[in-house]
Amino acid sequence: QEYRDKSTRQEIETRRLQDSQTDPEESSPSEETPSEAEPTSTTENKAPPQISLLRNSNSRFNLWQDLPEIRSSGVLSILQPDEIKLQEAMFELVTSEASYYKSLNLLVSHFMENERLKKILHQSEAHILFSNVLDVMAVSERFLLDLEQRVEENIVISDVCDIVYQHTVNHFSVYITYVSNQTYQERAYKQLLQDKPAFRELISQLELDPKCKGLSFSSFLILPFQRITRLKLLVQNILKKVEEKSDRETTALDAHKELETVVKACNEGVRKMSRTEQMISIQKKLEFKIKSVPIISHSRWLLKQGELQQMNGPKTSRTLRTKKLFREIYLFLFNDLLVICRQIPGDKYQVFDSAPRGLLRVEELEDQGQSLANVFILRLLENADDREASYMLKASSQSEMKRWMISLAPNRRTKFVSFTSRLVDCPQIQCVHPYVAQQPDELSLELADVLNILDKTDDGWIFGERLHDQERGWFPSSMGEEILNPKIRAQNLKECFRVHKSDDSQRRKLGSRNRQ
């Protein structure tokens, strides 16, 4: 964590420095392409000493170039700046795996194998709580041993992504099993804290041990999910720094593709159970005034829900002043369906209209004064009665209006970019404060994330697309700093397209096949 925080802060500060350099000439030296053959041949001749810090549990992980072995070897005066950056990226992957394995080991030895805890927990409770963590730890150990062996072959690391690829393909399926159990795990943990005082007291005592460094038991349980996601980002970072059209680029692309498959499977496993439970809960609350629509489906999930004000129809100015122009309605928006309701007593909702999400259109009203502020038109091209219907809806704020409009019609043009075309340059922002999503249409952010700004509101919200995974969502504008230098924005986009170019070529092949 310490190593990761240091490198993340460096990444943020580097972008800040580059962004402040408005003269293109000032930021060009670091982008020079070094000779690819020179560093390899020279370092081979010099034959630097081996490095064995990873097996030394007392070693404090630093940046690669700060290690005494590196400084004394003289290799820093030989390597080009871009190669040093690549070494740092590969070294971060290795050292962070060592730190992760150490934490996993603590989860097992300090918590899971605690004799008092074994007596408190029933075997089935322990199984739900710890799942297949022993398998995950064994996989991490094998992975780390191969990474250590590679680092110790030469002080200048040749590659690590080939090792990542092999282990992802052959062993990382254990992560899918562990992460898919997360919903059960969280529920079991909350239940145990509530029902078993002895469990609660023991966990509190174990958390106070200096070994835990102030971290909670639940933060150890979530480590595997965090690691598999982080590993993909670390490979992306390497991919941005390897030479184009090189063997190392090929292995990085292969590793990234396989990791992305595992991460998607993990995410899908987590969502599947929680989504099904949520759909069952919603189904119980709905009463249909129209023909009933089956809500529960394995391919359906909730995108957004909430209250809006519906305009009743033409009213006099006197009615406007008495604020009777609108009445409350409640929307449930799923990935493929919109259900329009009115709330009725008993925490129930009476459905009076619905439409497939693909047949929704939205239109923002021009400024019509305070009474019609934050009002938009929702058109159902084909509603529950198989006819076109329109609703004039009022949101509580400008951001809420825009969030509904983008959720209802995701392919409409936003303020800064058209979704049907790739814009060469659009506003960008880098995250300087982490953010945890509070609503389904929001996006969780980590430090140093870079996003395209697709839309923004006057009341402090941004709709963005994260470059490294194309995930979209809303977040407070106070979480980031806008990147003003167009050269840095272009470089960020170039790196993004490079990471995903293998995916893009596959999509183009599939697209041409479908057209045929």
What is the tens place of the pLDDT at every residue in 206-244?
999 999 999 999 999 999 999 999 999 899 999 989 999
Hey, what amino acid is at 513?
A: R
- Which residue, 105, 119, 231, is CA-closest to 167? 231
So what's the pLDDT on residue 313? Answer: 61
Model pTM above 0.75: no
Name the band, by pLDDT with cuts 50, 70 and 90, for residue 277. confident
Distance CA 126, CA 120 (A): 9
**pLDDT score at 223:** 96
User: How far apart are the C-alpha atoms of 327 and 336, rounded to whole Å?
Assistant: 26
Answer whether residue 306 shows pLDDT above 90.
yes
Q: Is the distance from CB of 514 to CB of 485 less than 8 angstroms? A: no
Residue 60 is predicted with a pLDDT of: 57
Pairing of strands 326-334, 337-344: antiparallel
Q: Which residues of 139-152 are buried (b: 16+ CB within 10 A; e: fewer)?
A: bbeebbebbbebbe
Q: Which residues contact 360 (CB under 8 A, 6 or more apart)?
A: 338, 378, 379, 380, 381, 408, 409
pLDDT for 61: 52
- Mean per-residue pLDDT for 462-490? 92
User: Which burial class, exposed, middle or buried, applies to 165 when counting CB atoms under 10 A from its CB (0-12, 13-18, 19+)?
Assistant: buried
Q: Which residue has the higher pLDDT, 473 or 422?
A: 473
Answer with the residue of higher pLDDT: 14 or 433: 433
Strand-pairing partners, residue 331, are 306, 340
- Give residue 483's pLDDT band: very low, low, confident or very high (50, 70, 90): very high
pLDDT at 369: 66
Q: Which domains, from first to last, does the chain contain?
A: 60-280 (1.20.900.10), 289-314+324-408 (2.30.29.30), 428-508 (2.30.30.40)
What are the C-alpha distances in Å from 105 to residues 3, 60, 180, 223?
19, 18, 21, 11
Distance CA 291, CA 351 (A): 9
Q: Give the pLDDT confidence of 142-151 residue by residue, as tens digits.
A: 999 999 999 9
Q: How confident is the model over 409-456, as pLDDT tens digits? A: 987 766 665 444 445 568 999 999 999 999 989 999 988 899 999 999
Are 91 and 54 contacting, i.e. CB atoms less than 8 angstroms apart? no
Residues 31 and 491: beta-carbon distance below 8 Å: yes
- The neighbour count for residue 406, using CB atoms within 10 Å, is 22
Percent of the chain predicted with pLDDT > 90:
63
Token pair, residue 20, equals 């402040």
Alpha-carbon distance of 335 to 290, in angstroms, equals: 21
Look-up: residue for tokens 């078993």?
196
Instruction: Give the model confidence (pLDDT) of 87-106 as tens digits.
Output: 999 999 999 999 999 999 99
Please give the distance of CA 22 from its chain centroid, rounded to a whole number: 31
- Backbone φ and ψ of 337, nearest 5°: -155, 140
Helix 182-195 crosses helix 173-180 at what angle (to 10 degrees)? 40
Decide: 448 and 430 in contact? Cβ < 8 Å: yes
Q: Report the alpha-carbon distance of residue 359 to residue 430 in Å, rounded.
A: 35
From 57-71, 386-400, 427-441, the region with the lowest mean pLDDT: 57-71
d(CA 373, CA 327): 15
Burial class (CB in 10 A: 0-12, 13-18, 19+), 250: middle
Instruction: Give the C-alpha separation, 375 to 162, whole Å.
Output: 54
Q: Is 416 helix (H, G, I), strand (E, B) or coil?
A: coil
Q: What is the rounded distance in angstroms from the CA atom of residue 145 to the CA atom of residue 134?
A: 17
Mean pLDDT of 134-155: 95
Sheet holding 450-456, edge to edge: 472-476, 461-466, 450-456, 428-431, 480-483
**Structural element, H or E, at residue 434:** none
Model confidence at 47: pLDDT above 70: no
CA-CA distance, 246 to 134, in Å (whole number)? 37
